Amino acid sequence: MKALVYNGPGKRALEERPKPVITAPTDAIVKITKTTICGTDLHILKGDLPTVATGRILGHEGVGVVEQVGGSVANFSVGDRVLISCITSCGRCLNCKKGMYSHCENGGGWILGNLIDGTQAEYVRIPFADNSLYPVPTGADEEALVMLSDILPTGFECGVLKGQVQPGDMVAIVGAGPIGLAALLTAQFFSPAELILIDVDDNRLEVAKTFGATKVVNNSDGKAAEKVMALTGNRGVDVAIEAIGIAASFDVCQAIVTAGGHIANIGVHGKPVQLNLDKLWSQNITLTTRLVDTVTTPMLLKTVLSARINPKQLITHHFVLNDLMRAYDTFGNAGKEHALKVMITHA
């Protein structure tokens, strides 16, 4: 089968690899019909995640059709159309019972495209299939559902819920990429008074306006913090969501959060950042980190199926599997290509 393989920092290739096989009775083999590329995949290619071994098939998002199931799989049958969760969970360990699927103690968590081969291939093996797949309702838009594998629950859980967004809050999201826009879409569940999007790309900021941003700030001059403080009467924001994963964006969050406010980190950081406790120690600030648990996926699925939100609008480019290398080039040059999410459809 064809698969996108990580061959070390800066090296990727579309290769022929063996089709995966069942290795445990809780496994399922899924034939991928649609997948996408995540910003985390770009971090992997930069060498930011040492857990990813050379030779790993990347990808942790997608929808597909069940081709084979292990003897212990009870919820799915061959031929079922399924949504693949980016987080694998046994459903039985202490952490899973607490809803912290990302820290499954029985070999789950974020393993697809990280510790085991992922979804940017013709087929993928899904461990703990009963707890790591979701049925795709008849007639559902599969492209919209791919956004539920990762970015929509990530933006919601790691940004909006961890940031404790409340009605009337002033919220700033640093980063208008797919994750930042997913946080923007789902923050509107809680009716904040202001949703300020910060980025260096005017095109993405214009997109953010169409997604519900009340104000946008271009940080190409490095003065985002000053601009946000001016917009808020020098008060700052109740919730600052970091959605990039670099020191500069984290610094902006620290500079704009108001006393008693929340900084919710979503971004994948490949390098340390500085925590300005000399300024924040007395400010009653709550700083949170989180790896998505996907506990909100069933709820988000309902909102998508009822057309309350439309994550399909995050998709800007379409490719087929044979063009996956070109899809990476496009996604990796998002500013030049005006790219958000790229959709890869398998023939």
Residue partners of 138: CB distance under 8 A and separation at least 6: none
Q: What percent of the chain has pLDDT over 90?
A: 96
Using only C-alpha atoms, the chain has a radius of gyration, in whole angstroms, of 20
Q: At what angle do helices 224-231 and 247-256 cross, to 10 degrees?
A: 30
pLDDT of residue 8: 95
- Contact between 281 and 82 under an 8 Å Cβ cutoff? The reply is no
Q: What percent of the chain has pLDDT over 70?
A: 100
Q: How far is CA 133 from the centre of its chain?
A: 17
- DSSP letter (8 states) at residue 96: H
Amino acid letter, 324: L
Confidence bin at 346 (pLDDT 50/70/90)? confident
CATH of domain 153-289: 3.40.50.720
Domain boundaries, the chain: 2-150+293-345, 153-289
Confidence bin at 212 (pLDDT 50/70/90)? very high
CB atoms < 10 A from the CB of 284, how many? Answer: 10
Output phi, psi for 83, to 5 deg. -95, 130
- DSSP letter (8 states) at residue 40: H
Average pLDDT over residues 272-277: 96
pLDDT of residue 62: 97
- Report how far residue 110's alpha carbon sits from residue 116's, in angstroms, rounded to the nearest whole number: 9
pLDDT of residue 198: 98
User: Tokens standing for 296?
Assistant: 């909100």
- Which residues are bridge partners to 326 per DSSP? none
Classify residue 15 by burial, with Cβ atoms within 10 Å: 0-12, 13-18, 19+.
middle
Please tell me the number of Cα atoms within 13 Å of 236 on its side-chain side. Answer: 18
- Contact between 270 and 43 under an 8 Å Cβ cutoff? The reply is yes
Q: Which fold has domain 2-150+293-345?
A: Quinone Oxidoreductase; Chain A, domain 1 (3.90.180)
pLDDT of residue 88: 98
| E strands, the chain, in order | 2-6, 12-16, 28-36, 56-57, 62-69, 81-84, 123-126, 133-135, 170-174, 194-199, 215-218, 237-242, 257-265, 286-289, 315-320, 341-345
Please tell me the number of Cα atoms within 13 Å of 244 on its side-chain side. Answer: 20
- Tell me how far CA of residue 150 lies from CA of 96, 158, 193, 283, in angstroms: 18, 11, 27, 33
- Contact between 86 and 110 under an 8 Å Cβ cutoff? The reply is yes
pLDDT of residue 270: 84
- Report how far residue 284's alpha carbon sits from residue 224's, in angstroms, rounded to the nearest whole number: 23
pLDDT of residue 347: 62
| Mean pLDDT score of the chain | 96
Q: Is the pLDDT of residue 129 over 70?
A: yes
3-state secondary structure of 6: strand
What confidence tens digit (pLDDT) does each residue in 151-197 have?
A: 999 999 999 999 999 999 999 999 999 999 999 999 999 999 999 99
What confidence tens digit (pLDDT) does each residue in 242-269 have?
A: 999 999 999 999 999 999 999 999 999 9
Sheet architecture: strand order including 286-289: 215-218, 194-199, 170-174, 237-242, 257-265, 286-289
3-state secondary structure of 79: coil
